[in-house]
Amino acid sequence: MSNQSEWISKDFGVFKLRFRPYTLTLRHVFTVASYSRSTTPVVLTELEYDGIVGYGEASMPPYLGESQESVITFLNQLDLSAFNSPFQTEDILHYVDQVAAKNTAAKAAIDIALHDVLGKIMGQPFYKIWGLNPNLIPPTSYTIGIDTEDMIRKKVAEADQFRILKVKLGLDTDKMIIETIRQVTDRPLCADVNQGWKTREEALEMAHWLAERNVSFLEQPMPKEQIDDNAWLTEHSPIPTIADEGCQRLVDVPALKGVYSGINIKLMKCTGMREAKRMAELARSLEMKVMIGCMTETSCAISAAAQLAPLTDWADLDGALLIDNDIYDGMTVINGSCILPDRPGIGISRK
């Protein structure tokens, strides 16, 4: 679909909803263990109440099963005419969640816009409404996709300001990639294997090898279906393991205790800010680590995720930095730190 697409508008009385497809273009072709791509489809939303416009976004990387078409179909099914105030947040988002199963990115596009409206009505950024200290947001990692030695060196040089690099592993080039990076920097790394290792023995050997090279944690080392293997690895690994593909929503969290050291929360997996915050609090209560991640997204969804990042141990909020056609200003990254603007709601404005 073209980026010139018209807004589709729905009038529900006090609420007005607009949405349109938009295609993000990536600065570099992005390769992980299972695919490569140079664009990411998103759907932008605007939810209007009493003249106040909240912004939202659904981002659809190919492996999650949503598309611009499925998001638009979902949004077209919504009927918000039973609601008369955005402060009916629980009722509204409960209704949205039960309209159809899955569709988590489409649901997030409503959740984010609704939180933006609420913050704007209250005149405060959402992290303040939640009572969170923005100085506790961890420095964001910056992702280095699987690539050739020359391109990896170039990407590491470009990532100069970041204090932690996230390295995509899971193909037969893992040691080459880490050794190439270690020739040019001794900064901490984290490794995202995207389910790429197939046996517990291979995974444990790599965990030790990576730990010796200052890799802080392992994201989704083996296929999510290999529960026993992931639990065995977590028990024996010298560094923490984090579930990403293996953890989508709040309901998944309790069973992951003991299988992984922690979880990677993403708004697009879990239907948005409301459920993401609950997941962070539940994981904490289970003494699990918490990471906040993202897809390739505009500053809209990134700034929404950053509102709850003070609750996390690690932040991976580089999604808007990987694209060259962001249409919003929002969270910025300065010397690797996530800086939230002191603006109400999710803190973004149209460029």
Nearest-approach distance from CB 294 to Mg ion, in angstroms: 10
Task: Decide whether 94 or 198 has the Cβ nearer to Mg ion.
Answer: 198
CA dist., res. 168 & res. 194, Å (int): 8
Task: Decide whether 245 or 329 has the Cβ nearer to Mg ion.
Answer: 245
Task: Decide whether 43 or 243 has the Cβ nearer to Mg ion.
Answer: 243
Return the DSSP state at 115.
Answer: H
From residue 21, alpha-carbon distances to 2, 112, 140 in Å are: 8, 16, 28
Task: Decide whether 112 or 242 has the Cβ nearer to Mg ion.
Answer: 242
Residues with Cβ within 8 Å of 245's Cβ and at least 6 positions away in sequence, in order, are 63, 194, 195, 220, 224
Task: Decide whether 159 or 167 has the Cβ nearer to Mg ion.
Answer: 167
Nearest-approach distance from CB 241 to Mg ion, in angstroms: 12
Nearest-approach distance from CB 81 to Mg ion, in angstroms: 38
- Residues engaged in binding Mg ion (CB under 5 A): 192, 219, 244
Task: Decide whether 46 or 219 has the Cβ nearer to Mg ion.
Answer: 219
Q: Kindly give the pairing relationship between strand 52-59 and strand 35-49.
A: antiparallel
List 265's β-bridge partners, or say none: 292
Residues with Cβ within 8 Å of 266's Cβ and at least 6 positions away in sequence, in order, are 244, 276, 292, 293, 294, 295, 305
Nearest-approach distance from CB 253 to Mg ion, in angstroms: 16
Computed from CA positions of residues 193, 199, 203, 205, in that sequence, does the dihedral angle turn out positive or negative? Answer: negative
Angle, CA of 10, 13 and 19, to the nearest 5°: 20
Q: Kindly give the pairing relationship between strand 164-168 and strand 189-192.
A: parallel
Q: What are phi and psi of 340, to 5 degrees?
A: -90, 135
Q: What are phi and psi of 53, to 5 degrees?
A: -110, 125
**Residue nearest Mg ion, Cβ-based:** 244
Cβ pair 64, 106 in contact under 8 A = no
Cβ pair 166, 156 in contact under 8 A = no
Nearest-approach distance from CB 316 to Mg ion, in angstroms: 8
Task: Decide whether 111 or 192 has the Cβ nearer to Mg ion.
Answer: 192
Nearest-approach distance from CB 264 to Mg ion, in angstroms: 6
Give me Rg for the CA atoms of the chain.
Answer: 20
Nearest-approach distance from CB 323 to Mg ion, in angstroms: 18
Q: Where in the chain does DSSP place strands (E)?
A: 8-12, 15-32, 35-49, 52-59, 141-144, 164-168, 189-192, 215-219, 241-243, 262-265, 289-292, 314-315, 328-329, 332-334, 337-339, 349-350
Task: Decide whether 125 or 196 has the Cβ nearer to Mg ion.
Answer: 196
Task: Decide whether 65 or 123 has the Cβ nearer to Mg ion.
Answer: 65
